[in-house]
Structure 1
């Protein structure tokens, strides 16, 4: 049986060492990339939690302002509905606070901000009467819902 030449064994060993070093290098890069990705995911999760807390705080502020009569029922309903939708609450929460969703939906056709300012005074008055009627109809339900919102996190 013929022995392998020594130089061939040295070349083979050198190739194996080089391949091991290259594999180690890429393994290190992969590990660093995974660590960075995990840190970014943690930062995103923290940012999402912070945003959720801010939205929950906003809901609490609006509910308290509604109970203290510092904000109109229609405006509070629209804002609370938008905030709950931003939190992507489940259907059970939407059902529990249906007064806000219903009032917001029934007043959705009423112009706001700049569009409101462009309306004639007569048209504004008609919309104000419509809002007053709806607010009277849903007031007790909405105030009860606002009371149940206080201290809750969604």
Structure 2
């Protein structure tokens, strides 16, 4: 083997080694990012679970209006665990959400005239009378069993 061939072979081997080291460096960054994302997802899941406990407890204690609580719980459940959200015992939250989806919020609510607001409030009262027991039962189930089951699966 000539000197030039040996030099080219050595240069190629060094180049392959350098590329392998760089690839290892990049993979370590990917693995670190995956760990960070998993940690962030776990923290988010725990935070949402805590928020759901607070909302369900507040709904049961009457510290939160039923319609508002049901809407908030439904949205958080969808983000927390879609399987839990689709449980038949949580259906009342979906029903109340769908029944009030057309109602304006925030600035649009304030822009409504009094008659329209009263009409929506009357509808809220009817929904509350119709679904109060089911919503309270669903909130109690979430606190006692639903959220605990999800934590065990995680």
Give, in whole Å, the separation in 2 of the partners of 1:39 and 1:10.
43
1:19 to 12, 17, 24: 12
2:134 to 118, 134, 141: 141
| Structure 1: unaligned runs, 5 residues or longer | 1-7
How far residue 14 of structure 1 moved from its aligned partner, in angstroms, is 1.4
Cross-structure match for 2:94: 101
1:51 to 28, 44, 48: 44
The answer on whether the counterparts of 2:67 and 2:96 sit within 8 Å (CA) in structure 1 is: yes
Cross-structure match for 1:3: none
Higher helix share: 2
TM-score normalized by structure 1? 0.89
Residues 1:133 and 1:102: Cα distance change in structure 2 (over 3 Å): same
1:62-81 CA distance string (max 9 Å, x none):
10000110111110111111
2:75 to 58, 72, 82: 82
Return structure 1 stretches of 4+ with deviation > 4 angstroms. none
Give, in whole Å, the separation in 1 of the partners of 2:14 and 2:38.
36
Stretch deviating more after TM superposition (90-99 or 55-64): 90-99
Stretch deviating more after TM superposition (32-41 or 83-92): 83-92
Of the two, which has the highest radius of gyration? Answer: 1
Give, in whole Å, the separation in 1 of the partners of 2:140 and 2:43.
24
TM-score normalized by structure 2? 0.89
